[in-house]
Copies of this chain bind each other. A is one copy, B any other.
Amino acid sequence: MSDRKKAPRKQIRADERRRQLLAASLRVMKREGIAAATTRAICAEAGMPHGAFHYCFRSKRELYAALLASDIEIDLDAVWPELSPEADPQENIRKLLLAYWSQVEADPEAQLVLFDLGSFVLRDPELQELPGQEYRASLDRATGYITRLGDEAGLTYLCEEHTLAELVVTTLNGVAWSWLAHRDSAVARASLTQFAELVAGLTRRKAARPV
């Protein structure tokens, strides 16, 4: 609304603080868990006085909601060039999964916070639907990736892309959870490789290329 005025610095300040508090809370949660992310700890992390919190957020629950809404996407853009229709389908799928995985592995605490936050929010009547929305979002993203994989690697699928996406999202979450428990990267990667093999069984190459 009032953004149309010349220099909305004031408003920006408030939004900026919200952003800072969100980032700070994420940092605290990654480091010490969701339970340690008290309003005070968050403000301290952000270098603000305690009073600032309830000026930016009506309540702590509002922060939780904002935090889950600004979900952490994982970016796979870098991996596409590595895929090619000549390669083994399983190899292409594996590359894609492991590209995702290396990002998970690089920031384990982020995953932990996601589980933490998810299971916490599932208990709150007003925020219950958020994980569902987040799930649907990652499902859409996964479906997109699967379609693109079909193009880039020259594959068709023997089942609905949607079904496949569900299985992939689910499996990736499962592997992440297991890995958080055992912390054995080799095991996680082996599971993903095995899964890639299984998924490859659901694919066929598109029309044979004339050589």
A contact set with B: CB distance below 8 Å? 32-33, 35, 112, 115-116, 118-120, 122-123, 131-132, 134-136, 159, 163-164, 166-167, 169-175, 177-178, 180-183, 187, 190-191, 194-195, 198-199, 201-202
Contact = CB atoms under 8 A, between A and B. Distances in A.
B32 A178 contact: no
Max chain B C-beta neighbours (<10 A), residue from A131, A172, A178: A178
Given A115-B119, A173-B174, A198-B201, 17 more contacts: A33-B119, A35-B35, A35-B123, A115-B118, A116-B119, A118-B177, A118-B180, A118-B181, A119-B119, A134-B181, A136-B182, A167-B195, A170-B174, A170-B178, A174-B174, A174-B177, A201-B201
A159 B123 contact: no
Nearest to A179: B170
Contact of A173 (B131, B163, B178, B187): B178
A135 B175 CA distance: 12
Contacts of A169: 174, 178
Max chain B C-beta neighbours (<10 A), residue from A164, A194, A199: A194
A181 B122 contact: yes
